[in-house]
Chains A and B, each alone.
Chain A
Amino acid sequence: MTTTTTTRPRRRVRLDSTVIVYIALVVVIVIGAILVNTVGRNFFSLGSIRDILTGMSVLGLVAVGQTVVILTGSLDLSVPYVISLSSLIAAETMRGNPNNIAQGVLFALAFAAVVGLANGLVVTKLKVNGFIATLGVGLIVKGYLDTNYQGSAGSVPAEFQFIGATGIGPVPISTIIMLALATVVFLFLKKTRTGHHIYAVGGSVEVSRLSGLRTARPVIFAHVICSVMAGLAGLLLASRLGVGSPTVGSQGGYDLLSIAAVVLGGTLLGGGRGSIWGTIGGVAIFAVLDSVMSAIQFNPFLKDVVRGVVIVAAVAIYTGRGLERRRTRFATKEVKR
Chain B
Amino acid sequence: MTAPILEARGMSKSFYGVEVLRDVSLELAAGSVHALVGENGAGKSTLMKILAGVYQRDAGQVLFDGAEVDFTHPIQAMRAGLATVFQEFNLLPERTVAENIFLGREPRRAGFVDTRGMANATASLLGELGIDFIDSNARVASLSVAEQQIVEITKALSFDARVIQMDEPTAALADHEVELLHSIIGRLKARGVAILYVSHRLKEVFDLCDTLTVLKDGALVWSGPTSEVTHDSLVRMMVGRAISTYFPPALGTTTVGDARLTISGGGNGYVDGIDLEVRAGEIVGVAGLQGAGRTELAEAIFGAVPFTRGTVTLDGRPVRLRSARRAVKEGIALITEDRKAQGLALQQSVIDNTLLVIRGVFASRTRTVRREAPGILSSLEVSFRGLDQEVQFLSGGNQQKVVLTKWLATKPRVVLLDEPTRGIDVGAKVAVYQLMRELANQGVAILMVSSELPEIIGMSDRILVMHGGRIAAELEPGSSEEAILAAATGTIAGSREDAA
Say if the beta carbon of B132 comes within 8 Å of chain A.
yes
Contact B308 A334 (CB under 8 A): yes
Contact B267 A196 (CB under 8 A): no
Q: How far is the CA of A1 from the CA of B133 in the complex (A)?
A: 15
Q: Which residues of A contact B130 (CB under 8 A)?
A: 1-2, 4
Contact A330 B271 (CB under 8 A): yes
- Which of B104, B132, B141, B308 has the most CB atoms of chain A within a 10 A radius of its CB? B104
Q: Which residues of A contact B468 (CB under 8 A)?
A: 329
Say if the beta carbon of B342 comes within 8 Å of chain A.
no
Nearest CB on A from B153, distance (A): 14
Interfacial residues of chain A within 292-337, with CB under 8 A of chain B in the complex: 324, 326-335
Say if the beta carbon of A15 comes within 8 Å of chain B.
no
Q: What 0/1 pattern do residues 1 to 14 of A give for CB contact below 8 A with B?
A: 11010101101101
Contact A203 B92 (CB under 8 A): yes
Nearest CB on A from B229, distance (A): 29
Q: Which residues of A contact B268 (CB under 8 A)?
A: 328, 330, 332
Specify which of B92, B108, B469 is in contact with A272 (CB 8 Å cutoff): B92
Contact A212 B75 (CB under 8 A): yes
Contact B180 A4 (CB under 8 A): yes
Specify which of A6, A11, A193, A206 is in contact with B180 (CB 8 Å cutoff): A6
Q: How large is the interface on B (under 10, 10 to 19, 20 to 34, 35 or more residues)?
A: 35 or more
Specify which of B92, B131, B132, B142 is in contact with A11 (CB 8 Å cutoff): B142
Specify which of B75, B105, B112 is in contact with A192 (CB 8 Å cutoff): B112
Q: Which residues of A contact B186 (CB under 8 A)?
A: 1
Contact B142 A210 (CB under 8 A): no
Q: Which residues of B contact A210 (CB under 8 A)?
A: 74-75, 90
Say if the beta carbon of A250 comes within 8 Å of chain B.
no
User: Looking at chain A's contact residues, is the secondary structure mostly helix, strand, loop, or mixed?
Assistant: loop
Contact B94 A273 (CB under 8 A): yes
Q: Which residues of B contact A335 (CB under 8 A)?
A: 267, 309
Specify which of B92, B270, B293 is in contact with A207 (CB 8 Å cutoff): B92
Nearest CB on A from B248, distance (A): 36
Contact A207 B176 (CB under 8 A): no
Q: Which residues of B contact A14 (CB under 8 A)?
A: 142
Q: Contacts A6-B176, A329-B468 known; A192 to B113 CB distance under 8 Å?
A: yes
Contact A193 B94 (CB under 8 A): no
Q: How far is the CA of A268 from the CA of B95 in the complex (A)?
A: 13
Contact B90 A195 (CB under 8 A): no
Q: Which residues of A contact B104 (CB under 8 A)?
A: 197, 200, 208, 211-213
Specify which of A4, A199, A268, A331 is in contact with B92 (CB 8 Å cutoff): A199
Q: How far is the CA of A306 from the CA of B270 in the complex (A)?
A: 42
Q: Contacts A200-B103, A327-B144 known; A211 to B113 CB distance under 8 Å?
A: no
Nearest CB on A from B434, distance (A): 35
Q: What 0/1 pattern do residues 48 to 85 of B give for CB contact below 8 A with A?
A: 00000000000000000000000001110011000000
Q: How far is the CA of A334 from the CA of B311 in the complex (A)?
A: 12
Q: Which residues of A contact B112 (CB under 8 A)?
A: 191-192
Say if the beta carbon of A41 comes within 8 Å of chain B.
no
Q: Contacts A330-B267, A335-B309 known; A199 to B95 CB distance under 8 Å?
A: yes
Specify which of B75, B99, B147, B309 is in contact with A334 (CB 8 Å cutoff): B309
Q: How far is the CA of A71 from the CA of B8 in the complex (A)?
A: 42
Q: How far is the CA of A226 from the CA of B46 in the complex (A)?
A: 43
Contact B94 A272 (CB under 8 A): yes
Q: What 0/1 pattern do residues 269 to 288 of B give for CB contact below 8 A with A?
A: 11110000000000000000
Contact B75 A211 (CB under 8 A): yes
Say if the beta carbon of B106 comes within 8 Å of chain A.
yes
Nearest CB on B from A190, distance (A): 7
Report the nearest A residue to B132, measured CB to CB: A4
Contact B176 A200 (CB under 8 A): no
Contact B308 A204 (CB under 8 A): no
Contact A8 B133 (CB under 8 A): yes
Q: Contacts A4-B133, A213-B104, A330-B267 known; A191 to B115 CB distance under 8 Å?
A: yes
Say if the beta carbon of B145 comes within 8 Å of chain A.
yes
Nearest CB on B from A262, distance (A): 16
**Chain A interface (Cβ within 8 Å of chain B)?**
1-2, 4, 6, 8-9, 11-12, 14, 190-193, 195-197, 199-200, 203-204, 206-208, 210-213, 268, 272-273, 324, 326-335
Cross-chain pairs A/B with CB under 8 angstroms, 29 sampled: A1-B183, A1-B186, A4-B130, A4-B131, A4-B180, A4-B183, A12-B142, A14-B142, A190-B115, A192-B113, A193-B106, A193-B108, A196-B106, A197-B104, A199-B94, A200-B92, A203-B92, A203-B95, A204-B92, A207-B92, A211-B75, A212-B75, A324-B93, A328-B269, A329-B272, A329-B293, A329-B469, A330-B270, A333-B308
6 tightest Cβ-Cβ pairs between the two chains A and B: A328-B269, A212-B75, A203-B92, A330-B272, A332-B269, A191-B112
